[in-house]
Structure 1
Amino acid sequence: MAKIQQTFVCQSCGAVYNRWRGRCEACNGWNTIQEEVPSAGPQSGPAATRPSRARGRIFPLEGLTGEAKEAPRTPSGINELDRVTGGGFVRGSVILLGGDPGIGKSTLLMQASAAMAKSGERVAYISGEEAVGQVRLRAERLGLAGHPVELAAQTNVEDIVETLSQGHPPALTIIDSIQTMWTETVESAPGTVTQVRSSAQALIRFAKTTGTAVILVGHVTKDGQIAGPRVVEHMVDAVASFEGDQGHHFRILRAVKNRFGPTDEIGVFEMTDAGLAEVPNPSALFLAGRDHAAPGTAVFAGMEGTRPLLVEIQALVAPSSLGMPRRAVVGWDPNRLSMVLAVLEAHGGIRLGGHDVYLNVAGGLRITEPAADLAVAAALVSSLSGAALPSDSVYFGELGLSGAVRPVSQAPARLKEALKLGFGKAITPQGRGESGERALPTEALRHIADLVAGIASGAPRRVGGKRERSRDDYAVPDDPF
């Protein structure tokens, strides 16, 4: 008998080594490599001992006549969840849902399964972390105990597939979580890379053959990435991330990958005593409690997928007593902030080398698009000069390294959302590159110097007869003021 060759697999990224190492060279993780015995696999052994198989069918592409029809979907009963999935669950699709512990993943899935079961669909909720009684207690707390959801506490994939195959296939099956599942074809502990990959593959095969929509709940690492091998994210049809701050009462469901809908789409929920409640107008939620007269605040008109979203950018620029001033960012890319600060110093005539800079996106939302450059620059200049920005103005635009304000996409949708919330003016790039009637009066900017000059013109000079701040405090001698 041939000797079984043992391998060492990184539990964070799935890299394989022939011997143990303290640090993974692929993800630079320490103490993440564990020894695993590779499974024999279904294709092992000589061909004569394997059972014969029937050949698959080939379907010609030219046999499709007429217009292409959209894949049949099953609504979840939650509008924000349907928005993220692209209109509902596609039959036979597999969704990987990740999020921090305690963020509300199980609560959201319990509410979605109860809503679908109430409409007459067969829904199965498989928990590998809780007992059936614990799941029922959470359902009673949410007021969903009377809904016909099938519950089970099982971790063996073969038993789960065999049980779900009896009778009519479920319309939705929830696996909470994939890290607790194990399959008999792999000789390793649950949660390892090999077990997660093999269990996910078996569940995906079940979804494709029966037409059941499957949601796999995945754990996340300290960096916020879904734990387990990256190959699982490529195997599934959609990847969603449930985000939120424990200090805030709202949660964001973000689509990272979706084969049947738009990517980077978000759904906004509010955590209440009765579970997660949908937020139909998230812009009003993020702008609630805004201080209109405070310097250093700017309203950014952003886009999350196909949804326009207005959020408040807060900046604080204060003189620093440290040799290396601090740069603290919450909700934005720190590298992007460094670029904006460099552009302001080089092309805006702003001295920021001796100041601490603190930037925050109000409400805990995380922004990734570069269209927030102009709003961040306006908040920084406003905080440094002490001039409050107009409360009825919104900002959006990308900054180039030359100081030019560049156009961004979907400008009409941003302007329409600002007009709906009562804003009267928009500070935008010149030549947005999109045709259409302007829904809101705009002030077009060509260069970052125009923005700095406009804000500094309203900066306070004296308070109580004393000089409060001058141009020399924050600008170089040849500044544009």
Structure 2
Amino acid sequence: MAKSKGAGYRCAECGYDVAKWVGRCPECHAWGSFAEAAGTKPQLARISASAPSTAAKPIGSVDLATAKARPTGVDELDRVLGGGIVAGAVVLLAGEPGVGKSTLLLEVGHRWALGAGGAAGPALYVTGEESAGQVRLRAERTGNVHDNLYLAAESDIGALAAHVDAVQPGLLIVDSVQTIGSAEVDGTPGGVTQVRAVTAALVALAKERGLPVLLVGHVTKEGAVAGPRVLEHLVDVVLHFEGDRHSMLRLVRGVKNRFGPADEVGCFELREDGIAGVADPSGLFLNRREAAVSGTAVTVIVEGKRPLLGEVQALVAGSSLAAPRRAVSGLDSSRVAMVLAVLERRGRIRLSNADIYAATVGGMRVTEPAGDLAAALAVASAARDIALPGDLVVLGEVGLAGEVRRVPDVSRRLAEAARLGFHRAFIPPDSGRPPAGVSAQVVPDISTALRLLESADADQLPAASR
């Protein structure tokens, strides 16, 4: 009889299995993370048929009530979730420490307790990171105290299940999944094995009872969800909670959603008395000035289905260093480096002897190519000390040959710009007809854009439509 082979080695960071020990994980690239996995490799067995839990039926006769979203009462979160939370869904909300995850979910629990969306049953908030008294203090400060919002401080999955049996909640919030452990599984809470087992148990509980579950997750220093990669596969929805701790603006970005769009964004403002949704966030990313200033350009990006106006700022200063400084904030540094190279080669603007600083306003992140032309004109405007008109928006992707490429949803972007008082635009070729109230100038390449910048006079640029 052949001996059964050992399970090999498993990465403590991501759970990746290999037959022999290696120094670096092929999956997450962590060094020295492999340890010998206990147990034996199971042998393949013949599958025997068993009675199904439910009979198969035509897809057209499947009941849609189980997939109907129920509003949480927090409009911006419902936007990202696709209308609300579905019964039995497991939602993972990940973000950096102190960004406001607990404050947001405490607000969700309070809205649920108030009966948002016809909520059936109370809300149960289980905290494994703080004491019940600490959470109560936050609830008092943010006005989220209600008799139908139950609170328990537990770090064991068995005790958590007992609280669910006792309270019979309509919504379960777990803060956080990395602090909950199981006595039946090896390892410490937060480890790969424990996180996988706890998440699987919570998913099974949610599906069995039709109980929506909101999980708080930690992130690594790179910004990825901490724990095994399988964690994101087990849950139904993955949301990233983003924001600079020095700014009041917070963004909830959908990464995975089995019940709705996976690219939607919700905007929030973190205040002393709690967190509030921002239905019209475009004004947060703009600096309104009486007079135009060189080194600034306004663009329109699309987050999910929402067009947002953002301001790109640049500063060009002479440098005596052999390698001048390049500092970027809120923009993709690789795209900015490409834009600078195109400006120097195709636009004949000398930048190799200057320090360049580029940033966005209000904590906005501009990563889509539609912001390339705005970044290019902001740098060129700063280098030549020529200000763009205050009612001008700039759209377009810049190619290495200096061409300006078409971007999607130009009409929708310009309509949002017109709503906020911008009536002129630089757009790529083949962008369609602009909406009423916007006068658009087609910019086929970076050279044309720079010529228009040099003649940035109200009489030279296209006049606003009346």
TM-score, normalising length: structure 2? 0.89
Q: What residue in structure 1 maps to residue 254 of structure 2?
A: 255
Partner of 2:460: none
Change (3 A) 1:441 1:3: same
Structure 2 CA distance, aligned partners of 1:291 and 1:270?
A: 26
Matching residue of 2:113: 117
Residue aligning to 1:57: 54
Residue 7 of structure 1: how far off its partner (Å) = 5.5
After TM superposition, the structure 1 = structure 2 runs for residues 57-456 of structure 1, keeping only pairs within 5 Å, are 57-64=54-61, 71-119=67-115, 120-121=119-120, 122-165=122-165, 168=168, 170-288=169-287, 292-432=291-431, 434=432, 437-438=435-436, 440-456=438-454
Q: Which runs of 5+ in 2 are unaligned?
A: 458-466
Q: What amino acid is aligned across from residue 375 of structure 1 in structure 2?
A: A
Q: 1:220 aligns to what SS in structure 2?
A: coil
Alpha-carbon deviations, 1:150-181, whole Å to 9, x = none? 1111222233234324575x332111111112
Aligned partner of residue 82 in structure 1, secondary structure: helix
Could you tell me how far 1:84 is from its partner in structure 2? Answer: 1.1
The SS at the match of 2:67 is coil
Change (3 A) 1:80 1:379: same
Specify the code of the residue in structure 2 equivalent to 1:158. G
Would you say how many aligned residue pairs link Structure 1 and Structure 2?
451
Q: Tell me the equivalent position of 1:476.
A: none
C-alpha separation between the residues in 2 aligned to 1:455 and 1:153? 60
> Per-residue deviation at 1:288?
4.1
CA displacement 1:323-344 (0-9 Å, x = unmatched): 1122211111111111111222
Deviations, residues 276-333 of structure 1 (Å, cap 9, x unaligned): 1221211112214557422111111111111110111011122221111222111111
CA deviation string 1:356-407 (max 9, x = no partner): 2211011112122111011111101101110011111111111122211111
* AA at the equivalent of 2:438: L
Aligned to 2:357, what secondary structure does the other structure show? Answer: strand
Asked if structure 1 preserves the Cα contact closer than 8 Å seen for 2:251 and 2:268, the reply is yes
Contact 1:412 1:438 in 2 (8 A): no
Flag the 1:63–1:72 CA change in 2: closer, same or farther, 3 A: closer
Could you tell me how far 1:12 is from its partner in structure 2?
3.0
Offset at residue 431 of structure 1 (A)? 1.1
| Partners of 1:423 and 1:11 in 2: CA distance | 53
Aligned partner letter, 1:449: S
Distance in 1, matches of 2:4 and 2:166, equals: 40
Question: In structure 1, what is the Cα distance between the partners aligned to 2:171 and 2:253?
Answer: 20
Q: Distance in 2 between matches of 1:39 and 1:145?
A: 50
Deviation at 1:419, TM superposition (A): 0.9
CA distance in 2, matches of 1:353, 1:132: 57
- Please give the root-mean-square deviation of Cα atoms over the aligned residues, in Å: 2.9
Gap change, CA 1:175 and 1:167, over 3 Å in 2? closer
Q: CA deviation at 1:61?
A: 2.8
Shift of 1:217: 0.8
Question: Would the alpha carbon gap of residues 141 and 450 (structure 1) be closer, same or farther in structure 2, given more than 3 Å must change?
Answer: same
Letter in 2 for 1:399: V
Tell me if structure 1 keeps the 8 A contact 2:414–2:434: no
Identity %: 44
**Residue matched to 2:461:** none
Find the aligned partners of 1:189 and 1:27 in 2 and give their Cα distance.
20
Question: What is the deviation of 1:110?
Answer: 0.1
Give the drift of 1:435.
Answer: 6.2
> Is the Cα contact below 8 Å between 2:328 and 2:358 reproduced in 1?
yes
The 1-side partners of 2:27 and 2:162 are apart by 37
Offset of residue 190 of structure 1: 1.1
Secondary structure of 2:239's counterpart equals strand
Q: Does the 8 A contact of 2:10 with 2:37 survive in 1? A: yes
- Structure 1, 29-38 or 124-133: larger mean CA deviation: 29-38
TM-score, normalised with respect to structure 1: 0.86
In structure 1, the residue matched to 2:463 is none
Counterpart code for 1:273: E
State whether structure 2 residue 452 is matched by structure 1 residue 457: no
Which 5+ residue runs of structure 1 have no aligned equivalent? Answer: 460-481
Cross-structure match for 1:474: none
* 1:270 counterpart SS class: strand
Distance in 1, matches of 2:217 and 2:299, equals 32
Cα 1:185/1:61, change in 2 over 3 Å? farther
- Please state how far the C-alpha of 1:450 moved relative to its aligned partner: 0.4
